[in-house]
Amino acid sequence: MMRFAVSDRDLDVASLRRELHNPDHGGFCAFEGWVRHTNEGRDVGGLEYEVYAELAQVEGERIMQEARERFGAIDAVGIHRSGMLRIGEMAVWVGVSSAHRDEAFRACRFIIDQIKHRLPVWKKEHYLEGDTAWVACAHHGEDHDHTHHHRHHRAPAGFVPDYSRQKRLPGVGEAGQEKLARARVLVIGAGGLGSPVLAYLAGAGVGLLGISDDDRIDASNLHRQTLFTAADTGRLKAEVAAERIAAVNPSVRTELFGRIAPDEAVALFRRFDLVVECSDDMSSRFLCSDAATMSGTALILASVHQYEGQLQVIDPRAGGPCLRCLWPAEPAPDAAASCAESGVLGPVPGILGTMQANEALKRLLGLPGQAPDRLLLVDLLDNRTDQLRIDAENGCASRGGCVAMAERAMAARGGDSLERRFSTLGAARAAGYRLVDVRQEDERAAWPMPEAVHVPLPVLLESGAALPAEGPLLLVCASGRRSARGAQHMRDSGRADVFTLPGGLQGLSE
């Protein structure tokens, strides 16, 4: 049972709970969100929830599906109220049942956090002083402790975008416009490259733009970061960018993130169709390349220096080369100069960012684009370009492959989880993992895993050398408990490319 709904009636908790009874489940956890009396210091008499129902339904079901992928065999129900509510009434209910309590707690927390961050819901607060105000619900993250903040910005009513000039193009049309409206693009860095990327993707009507940036606007940015004005100095770039996007095209939704943590990157990338890397930070570029490789998400990279720029499109699903195929390890800081040290002419990031926006739109529309096996160099002094073919055979392929390289780098960042979630064993193999069955011999007869190497947990704990030398390895058992112990043991003994399938065979969807 996985269900999400929007309801305009009082929530009947007893019957919601009954839906989650399951003879295999021994744990149940629920969260209730209630209307509070005060908000940001003002007394509230009641409030009115406005829900964009069609979108909320789709996004809500997507959240439930993601919970299943993350936490395995769970049953879950999420309901959000719409309409008028009084103080103390229940605005949202999430319930999860599972075999054990841990998954129930974690999945419940995940679902309510995602609902609060992602659902298109606005509340109109009726203040006791008689006035009212509309507030985007995601601004009220009082019950989450995420290191980054997510915020949705709301479209004012009454504006209808006119895409006639781009829909007229052969290769776009009504169908292309719908593709853009459904697309989710994450833009990392809202600076010189990010300004044109965000402006053009917003204008084109891309449905959801994620913006990651924790930097504030400085007067020295204004010669190249065209989204901002002198009045914005000191403000957060991501927030101002979201306001400018809403001003260009109020039908575009935005979701804001701070700096992306390594252990969140892969899951975050999976939520987007495409990521555009526009930061001025070499370690962010490598993190993005690794997360794109591990999640199978396409990535458009660019960087600039003085009067020139570089552009690379990474297409992991097509087996194309990654950033590490070019630069196996992150270059030393002094080997790559930054805008602050070397200077940059304003239009240079403008041109490269515009090219990134162009590549992003073409990709979403299924049009031809920058060849993923080439690095484009653009020299904007004499306007010369070089397309250099990346030597993929001597890149990651000679070091275990892009996925293995990304895995190792991600593990070396430290914050990386031991867990690798897949809904099928085939998906794990397709992602480059070698499967290792850590169950006992007698269990294997009942549920064979012919594609896996067999190393029972006691053998592994006695000597890690019993495992295949070539990683990355995914340890699998019935419930995920023994495989987690094995993976932890290997991490403790210094091997970084051994992971566990949480939920084990019981959590798979096959």
Partner 1 sequence: MITVELRYYAQLREQAGTGGERVSTDAETPAALYDTLRLRHGFSLPRDALKIAVNTAFCSWETRLRDGDVVVFVPPVNGG
Residues in contact with partner 1 by CB under 8 A are: 189, 191-194, 278-282, 302-306, 308-310, 326-327, 331-332, 335-339, 342, 344, 349, 375, 377, 379, 381-382, 384, 386-391, 394
Q: What is the largest CA-CA distance in the chain?
A: 72
Least distance CB 405 / Zn ion (angstroms): 6
Q: Which is nearer to partner 1, 304 or 505 (CB)?
A: 304
CA pair distance 349, 309, nearest whole angstrom: 8
Q: Looking at the DSSP assignment, which residues form a beta bridge with residue 95?
A: 30, 77
CA pair distance 259, 282, nearest whole angstrom: 13
Q: Which is nearer to partner 1, 175 or 381 (CB)?
A: 381
379's contact among partner 1, Zn ion, none, with CB below 5 to 8 A by partner kind, is: partner 1
Q: Helix/strand/coil (H, E, C) string of 300-346?
A: EEEEEEECEEEEEEECHHHCCCCHHHHCCCCCCHHHCCCHHHHCECC
Least distance CB 36 / partner 1 (angstroms): 41
Closest CA to 33 of 112, 98, 86, 105: 112
Q: Which of 91, 211, 300, 322 binds Zn ion (CB under 5 A)?
A: 322
Q: Which is nearer to partner 1, 185 or 467 (CB)?
A: 185
Q: For residue 8, with 0-12 CB atoms within 10 Å meaning exposed, 13-18 middle and 19 or more buried, which class applies?
A: exposed
344's contact among partner 1, Zn ion, none, with CB below 5 to 8 A by partner kind, is: partner 1
Least distance CB 396 / Zn ion (angstroms): 3
Least distance CB 459 / Zn ion (angstroms): 33
67's contact among Zn ion, partner 1, none, with CB below 5 to 8 A by partner kind, is: none
305 contacts 337 by C-beta, under 8 angstroms: yes
199's contact among partner 1, Zn ion, none, with CB below 5 to 8 A by partner kind, is: none
Least distance CB 419 / partner 1 (angstroms): 32
Least distance CB 321 / Zn ion (angstroms): 5
Question: Hey, which residues between 185 and 224 contact Zn ion (CB under 5 A)?
Answer: none
Q: Which is nearer to Zn ion, 325 or 508 (CB)?
A: 325
Q: Which of 183, 278, 325, 378 binds Zn ion (CB under 5 A)?
A: 325
Residue length of the chain: 510
63 binds Zn ion (CB under 5 A): no
CA dihedral 118, 124, 126, 130 (to 10 degrees): 140
What x-and-dash track marks residues 388-427 binding Zn ion by CB under 5 A? Answer: --------x-----x-------------------------
349 contacts 191 by C-beta, under 8 angstroms: yes
With a CB cutoff of 8 Å and minimum separation 6, the contacts of 348 are 192, 224, 304, 306, 307, 308, 309, 380
332's contact among Zn ion, partner 1, none, with CB below 5 to 8 A by partner kind, is: partner 1
Alpha helices in 374-463 (DSSP H): 402-412, 425-430, 441-446, 457-462
In the complex, which residues of this chain contact Zn ion (CB under 5 A)? 322, 324-325, 396, 402
